[in-house]
């Protein structure tokens, strides 16, 4: 995964797209920092988690930029977000998420909102990074309430 990022950065530099190249360089740096923190090379799944965290931060920033009326930063954040999402696995749809939630509710025997803490960890583990936690929590709350 890191090699793919490095290759894409070189291609962006050759194409003259300095903005994309700089952003990919930032992603590579985040991955290398995580690698140093762990004291070993990152596996692809760990690299994906770093990218997912970066995407989540960008989404939060995007919301703040929209609320603050900073259109210049909104456009930049959207470009960066689309760049990150090109490396991430496709997220499950709302229907697919509902099916998995229903299965887990049956497995755990959850019946009320108090059981949210039982279901969410199992759901996120079963989803393996392909489930949007915020959407899943909203669906789960509507089913259990």
Residue 144 pLDDT exceeds 90: no
CATH class of the structural domain 2-85:
mainly alpha
Residue 100 pLDDT exceeds 90: no
Note whether 55 and 81 are within 8 A (CB).
Answer: yes
Per-residue confidence band for 44, with pLDDT thresholds at 50, 70 and 90:
confident
Residue 127 pLDDT exceeds 80: no
* pLDDT in the model for residue 26: 93
- Residue ranges in the chain assigned as alpha helix (H): 2-15, 18-38, 44-68, 71-85, 94-108, 116-127, 133-144
Q: pTM higher than 0.75 for the full model?
A: no
Residue 48 pLDDT exceeds 90: no
- What residue spans in the chain does CATH classification 1.10.10.410 cover? 94-144
Q: Any idea which fold 94-144 has? A: Arc Repressor Mutant, subunit A (1.10.10)
For residue 60, give both structure tokens. Answer: 């939060």
Note whether 48 and 86 are within 8 A (CB).
Answer: no
- Cα dihedral 82, 91, 69, 76, rounded to 10, equals -10
Average pLDDT over residues 88-104: 85
- What residue spans in the chain does CATH classification 1.10.1510.10 cover? 2-85
């Amino acid at each position: 995964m890191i090699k793919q990022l490095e290759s894409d950065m070189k291609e962006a530099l050759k194409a003259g797209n300095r903005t994309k190249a700089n952003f990919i360089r930032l992603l590579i740096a985040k991955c290398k920092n995580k690698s140093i923190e762990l004291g070993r090379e990152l596996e692809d799944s760990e690299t994906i988690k770093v990218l997912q965290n970066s995407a989540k931060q960008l989404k939060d920033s995007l919301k703040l930029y929209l609320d603050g009326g900073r259109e210049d930063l909104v456009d930049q954040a959207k470009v960066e977000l689309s760049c990150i999402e090109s490396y991430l696995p496709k997220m499950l749809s709302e229907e697919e998420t509902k099916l998995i939630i229903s299965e887990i509710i049956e497995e755990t025997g959850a019946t009320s909102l108090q059981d949210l803490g039982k279901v969410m960890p199992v759901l996120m583990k079963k989803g393996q990074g392909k489930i949007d936690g915020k959407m899943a929590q909203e669906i789960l709350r509507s089913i259990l309430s």
